[in-house]
C-alpha cells in the first residue's frame, strides 16, 4: 500500500513538472521569465512531496570543490563547442541558434538582479527534481547509466523548443550535473555547478 501510494505521488509529481515545462517552452517568449519561476517552483514542491528534501543536501568541502570544478569543465566544453559550431556549422547549426537561447534570459529588458534570480531558481528547481528525485529513483537499478537516462529525458522534453542545439546542450549539461550528483551524493554540489555554469554562460562570459 505504501509503495503504491509512493508511486502515485511520483507519477503526480512528474505529470505536474512535465506540464509546467511544456508551458515554459510553448508560451510566448515574453512570458519565459515568469513561466520559469512557475515551473521551477513546481519542481521544488514536487521534490518536497516525494523525498526527504533536506536529506539530499550533504555539503562538504570536497563536494563543493567538485561542484565548482564540474562547472568550469562544463563551461570549457561549451566554449570549445561554440568554436566548433562557428567553424563547421554541423547540421546547419549556427551561433544564432545559441543566441535565441541566451536572449530569453540575458535580455537587456531583464535587469541583472532578475537574470540572477531566474538562474538561481533554474539551478535549484532542475537539480531538485531531475537529480534529487528522478536520478535518485533510477540509481539503485541503473547505476552509472542513471545520469544519462535522466539527461535523455530532459533533452527529450526540450524538443518542444524546436531548437536542436538546445536539445543537444541540455543533454550534455544534464549529463555533467548528473555525474556530479552521482559521485558527490550531495545535491548542493550539482546545484552549485548548475548555478555557476548558468552565471558564466548567460551573464558573465557568454560564448554565443
> HSE on the CB side for 178, CA within 13 Å?
28
Q: Residue 5: which pLDDT band, with cuts at 50, 70 and 90?
A: low
In the numeric block, which cell numbers belong to residue 128? 531538485
Contact 41, 64 (CB under 8 A): no
In the numeric block, which cell numbers belong to residue 41? 517552483
Model confidence at 102: pLDDT above 80: no
Model confidence at 98: pLDDT above 60: no
Model confidence at 90: pLDDT above 80: no
Q: Residue 92: which pLDDT band, with cuts at 50, 70 and 90?
A: low
Give me the residue spans of the domains in the chain. 2-204
In the numeric block, which cell numbers belong to residue 156? 527529450
Model confidence at 116: pLDDT above 90: yes
Q: Residue 84: which pLDDT band, with cuts at 50, 70 and 90?
A: confident
Entry pTM: 0.92
Amino acid at each position: 500500500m505504501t509503495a503504491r501510494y509512493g508511486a502515485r505521488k511520483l507519477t503526480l509529481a512528474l505529470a505536474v513538472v512535465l506540464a509546467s515545462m511544456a508551458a515554459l517552452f510553448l508560451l510566448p517568449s515574453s512570458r519565459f521569465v515568469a513561466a520559469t519561476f512557475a515551473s521551477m517552483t513546481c519542481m521544488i514542491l514536487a521534490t518536497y512531496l516525494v523525498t526527504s528534501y533536506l536529506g539530499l543536501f550533504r555539503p562538504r568541502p570536497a563536494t563543493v570543490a567538485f561542484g565548482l570544478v564540474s562547472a568550469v569543465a562544463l563551461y570549457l566544453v561549451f566554449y570549445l563547442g561554440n568554436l566548433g559550431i562557428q567553424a563547421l556549422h554541423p547540421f546547419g547549426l549556427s551561433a544564432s541558434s545559441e543566441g535565441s537561447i541566451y536572449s530569453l534570459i540575458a535580455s537587456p529588458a531583464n535587469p541583472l538582479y532578475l537574470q540572477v534570480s531566474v538562474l538561481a531558481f533554474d539551478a535549484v528547481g532542475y537539480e531538485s527534481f531531475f537529480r534529487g528525485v528522478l536520478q535518485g529513483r533510477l540509481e539503485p537499478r541503473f547505476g552509472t547509466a542513471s545520469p544519462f537516462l535522466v539527461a535523455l529525458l530532459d533533452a527529450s522534453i526540450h524538443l518542444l523548443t524546436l531548437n536542436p542545439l538546445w536539445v543537444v546542450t541540455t543533454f550534455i549539461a544534464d549529463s555533467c550535473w548528473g555525474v556530479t550528483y552521482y559521485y558527490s551524493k550531495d545535491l548542493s554540489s550539482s546545484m552549485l555547478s548548475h548555478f555557476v555554469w548558468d552565471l558564466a554562460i548567460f551573464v558573465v562570459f557568454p560564448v554565443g
